[in-house]
Structure 1
Amino acid sequence: MIDRGPIDCWLSDMDGVLVHEGVPVPGAGDFIEALAASGKRFLVLTNNSIYTPRDLHFRLRAAGLHVPAESIYTSALATADFLKTQRPGGSAYVIGEAGLTTALHEIDYVLTDIDPDYVVLGETRSYSVGAITTAIRLVEAGARFIATNPDPTGPSPEGVLPATGAVAALITKATQVDPYFVGKPNPLMMRSALNKAGGHSETTAMIGDRMDTDVVAGVEAGLETFLVLTGVTEREQIDRFPFQPHHIFDSVADLIPLVAPDKS
């Protein structure tokens, strides 16, 4: 049993917790303001590797949520941090958007289709059959296979879209090589986020809307877990999982009393 102290660091998922299809969850702005006023450490985590933290800061600000870019940690950044420890100054063939390519350039990686050390698969707005074919051939030739996150689908106003996990399955089917998924629910991303936030597992909380990524990642990293019901998980689904969150709330707005500064 972990001996927990008062929560002084909060990690929060983005989609389904703070925003839903680009629209702020009611009370999310007040929650972020309460965190800022409390002086507690705070980091927004997302498996979305399309955008850089600056991009996401701008998009959240346009929606009325004020989250500094330095308080946003993506699966693309986690992937770059992982590759930097594994093979500094390496090379990669990348399928992804600016969030991923920028993160790899910032660790001095060369992006190439000529004998790369890795094939790195991330989220993109449109997957190219030609790019996937190149990835398959490079993996068959010996490139190590990395994917930013295992999410099979992503949301859009028109309905679900195939995401990284689905495309990774296609490459695996063709090559018989499984990728290493860096993003949630891999505890590696949670530990990297803790290091970035300067938190400790005994005094850090994880807020999420998904049992299969956010909650299990928090549980495996030894964090206090909060499930909110503003995303994909319905209350009646919770007991079906072999792991459980420590707390269940209707919305992140209900957590404000837990983070508001003591005014006594």
Structure 2
Amino acid sequence: MNKSPIAILTTVANFELYQKTVQLFPENVQKYVIDGRNGMHGIHSILFMINKLKGKGIEWLVMADEDVVFKNSEAVFSIIEKMKNNDITVCGVRDGGIISHRNYNPYLINTFFSILNFKEIEVIWNEKEMLSNQFLTENEFDDEVAKLFYEYDISSLYEPYYCFYLWLRRKGKKFLFLDSVMEEDGVSNNVIFNDEIILCHTWYARSYGLSEKHTKRINNLLGKALNFEINRKQQKSKIIFYKKKTFAIEQMIKKQYRRICLKLK
């Protein structure tokens, strides 16, 4: 597969963890990082992502958080091949019914790992239209969710970034939902493709290095896939970093403005 039009993006809140997990990311593809230490994540990260990556010739964009531990990173390219052959725009894991502690909307995905047909999305991109889709319509989707293992809520709008995926679904774009099974620790979940575990999402990235419990748990999962030695694997493509330095102050100003408007009302 020609990997040149494929890129991987991670919005990183914990660089200590990212320095370890990135060694297991798919090789020979361009890696991008958005610095999320100033609170940027979710819908803000998606908007910033589109702004920074449009026009760079990216056809397929893999989104993977820093607490994703790849067990078979090459499977990413098999997923992309399936998406290409079946005209699929979005791939990911449902945000309800699949992971024991994520009981939200099963018609939409969680952004910890997803693959986007970025070239297709770039062509139809309309920020205002996308943001206007944070609503639900009764019986709008007909996915078979009744047999999902865990609880879910088809009326949930828990995540502000849902509008991005609702917009794409309403545009008629096809989704590929991946299966998942829980790890023995009861927190992490393994993502499956073609009956094989391709990655483990450890969760609690922000707690790594701060919480003894989560640090030990994540190191245990990392240790199964990665030996903690210097120079154990060299990345063959440099990482390009982005940071919106004004993000935190902009959010603070917007928050204060909303408070003032509420008081005036």
* TM-score, shorter chain, exceeding 0.5: no
Return the structure number with greater relative CO, CA threshold 8 A, min gap 6.
2
Which protein has the bigger helix share? 1
